[in-house]
């Protein structure tokens, strides 16, 4: 009888351990998704139209595959105004299905994440 009770307790402990293991894995997954979250990333389809259209190769991809514009190369970047003037080039914006590139003018936090130099 005692042996049956011990086996039952061991099985219960095993189930609890599995439960906590699954919870830990899910929690870690949520943390990673949160780290990757941004307004820009939520709207970017990662179809790489922008990257393929840029005539001066100013767009590279970050570690998650989202575009980053090198302002020192981009034809639309106007340092004196501290903004992009898409009329100067804007090829990356023109074909973007969500036009998310334009967020880099209105949201400085997103600009920080998605531009270089
Ligand atoms: S505005 Fe033109 S130069 Fe600048 S990143 Fe877009 S496609 Fe490239």
pLDDT, block means (10 residues), the chain with 117 residues:
67 70 57 65 93 95 94 97 96 94 92 93
Q: Which domain holds residue 9?
A: 2-37
d(CA 65, CA 50): 12
| pLDDT reported for residue 77 | 97
Tell me: do 77 and 99 sit in the same domain: yes
Its pTM surpasses 0.85: no
How many domains does one find in the chain? 2
Among 66, 69, 86, name the best residue to mutate to test ligand 1's pocket (greatest count of ligand atoms within 8 A of Cβ): 69
Question: Which atom of ligand 1 lies at the shortest distance from residue 77's CA?
Answer: 4
| Cβ atoms within 10 Å, residue 98 | 13
Per DSSP, the three-state class of 59 is strand
Pocket of ligand 1 (CB under 6 A): 53-54, 56, 58-59, 69, 74-76, 89-92
Per DSSP, the three-state class of 111 is helix
Burial-class residue 75 by CB neighbours within 10 Å (0-12, 13-18, 19+): middle
Tell me: do 24 and 56 sit in the same domain: no
């Amino acid at each position: 009888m005692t042996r049956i009770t011990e086996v039952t307790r061991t099985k219960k402990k095993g189930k609890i351990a599995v439960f906590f293991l699954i919870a830990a894995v899910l929690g870690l997954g949520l943390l990673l998704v949160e780290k990757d979250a941004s307004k820009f990333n939520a709207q970017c389809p990662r179809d790489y139209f922008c990257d393929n259209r840029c005539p001066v190769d100013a767009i590279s991809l970050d570690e998650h595959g989202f575009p980053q514009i090198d302002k020192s190369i981009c034809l639309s970047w106007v340092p004196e105004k501290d903004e992009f003037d898409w009329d100067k080039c804007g090829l990356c914006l023109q074909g973007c299905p969500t036009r998310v590139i334009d967020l880099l003018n209105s949201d400085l936090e997103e600009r920080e994440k998605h531009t270089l130099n």
